Amino acid sequence: MYITKVRTHVVVGDPKEKICETVQDLHADVLVMGSRAFGPIKRMFLGSVSNYCAHHSECPVTIIKGKGGVNKGN
């Protein structure tokens, strides 16, 4: 049986930089994050936090892509 320790943190600043800084500060084993699955044009203008973290994080990154978008009702 494996025990998984999960931590959450709230920080202020540029998300992509703060996520990578927090991963480093915590000596995290893995970073799991979601992706809004922007198309190539939108990603070019807005950037991608998950893409940045995948290339700059000091630990492995797992990116979970959503299926079909978010239900904004209710």
What pLDDT score was predicted for residue 7? 82
Q: Where are the domains of the chain?
A: 15-65
This prediction's pTM: 0.72
Measured between alpha carbons, how far is 35 from 43 in angstroms, rounded to an integer?
A: 11
Measured between alpha carbons, how far is 47 from 42 in angstroms, rounded to an integer?
A: 8
What pLDDT score was predicted for residue 3? 84
**May I ask the CATH architecture of the domain 15-65?**
3-Layer(aba) Sandwich (3.40)
What pLDDT score was predicted for residue 2? 81
Measured between alpha carbons, how far is 56 from 45 in angstroms, rounded to an integer?
A: 19
What pLDDT score was predicted for residue 28? 92
pLDDT per residue as tens, the chain (74 positions): 788 888 888 999 999 999 999 999 999 999 998 887 777 777 666 668 888 999 999 999 998 887 655 545 44
Planar angle of CA 32, 42, 68, nearest 5 degrees:
60
